[in-house]
Amino acid sequence: MDIKKTKKLINEGYNNLYILTNLSWKDYREEMLRSEKKLAKKWRGDTQNIWGIDRKYLLTITEEAKYFVVRHVVEAMLSTRSLELKETLHVKKSFSMAHALTDAYAEKIQEAFKDFDTGTFLELNHTDFSVDVEEVA
């Protein structure tokens, strides 16, 4: 899939998560996005500074963060069980939030994703969103 279609699919999935913005006084979609943006920014910095790898990114930090938010919700939606306590201790905040929200609001989330192409989305691989420019020694 080309990058334009990939970005369109990611944004469609993220827009479907609008239902998470008004469930309570907290905007869960935005909270997961902020968490993923911090991690994406840190990952990119670590890749450059620690490993000395120069990469060209095909998605912005925000687009990459949206991908992971949607990915976590889709995986939670398709999961057959809830996370156990031990599993939640070492996972990303957005991953555990996605599972908790999917447990609490399963019908609303499934309704929001009824026309979404989850199969194509799950075939996306985040490692394809960047390419090595050159190795910095």
Domain enclosing residue 58, as ranges: 3-135
Tally of domains within the chain:
1
Could you report the per-residue pLDDT of 69-84, keeping only the tens digit for each? 999 999 999 987 777 7
pTM of the model: 0.86
Q: Measured over all CA atoms, what is the biggest interatomic distance in the chain, rounded to whole angstroms?
A: 52
Which of 58, 61, 56 has the alpha carbon at shortest distance from 43?
61
Q: Say which DSSP state 90 is in.
A: T
Express the helix, strand and coil content of the chain in percent, nearest 5 each. Answer: 65, 10, 25
Mean pLDDT score of the chain: 87
Cα–Cα dist 9/80, whole Å: 24
Indicate the helix (H) or strand (E) that contains 134: strand 130-135
